[in-house]
Amino acid sequence: MSDFRVIYHEPICPECGSFDIDRDQVDTGDGLSETAHICGDCGTAWPLACVTDWTAMVPAPQPSPAPDPLTRR
């Protein structure tokens, strides 16, 4: 069984940092539309929220290689 979680996006423009944000229906390009945040300063649009499968197993990322030890010259 899957559990889903809704993650809401802040009404702060990810492109320019503006707080001049409105909401409107936006065409997604595939014949669908969704309600989106729209920046009044730069026109960037992003979804109000995303849905994620909270139980999906994702492999852990590989650890970063250890840096070479510093040597005194």
Q: What is the pLDDT along the chain (73 residues), one digit of tens a residue?
A: 678 889 999 999 999 999 999 999 988 888 888 999 999 999 999 999 988 887 767 777 787 777 766 666 6
Task: Give me the amino acid identity at 19.
Answer: F
pTM of the model: 0.63
User: DSSP E strands: which ranges in the chain?
Assistant: 4-8, 21-27, 33-39, 45-47, 49-53
Task: Give phi and psi for 25, each to the nearest 5.
Answer: -75, 135
Tens of pLDDT, residues 46-62? 999 988 887 767 777 78
Q: How far apart are CA 29 and CA 58, in angstroms?
A: 29
Helix (H) or strand (E) holding 33: strand 33-39
3-state secondary structure of 38: strand
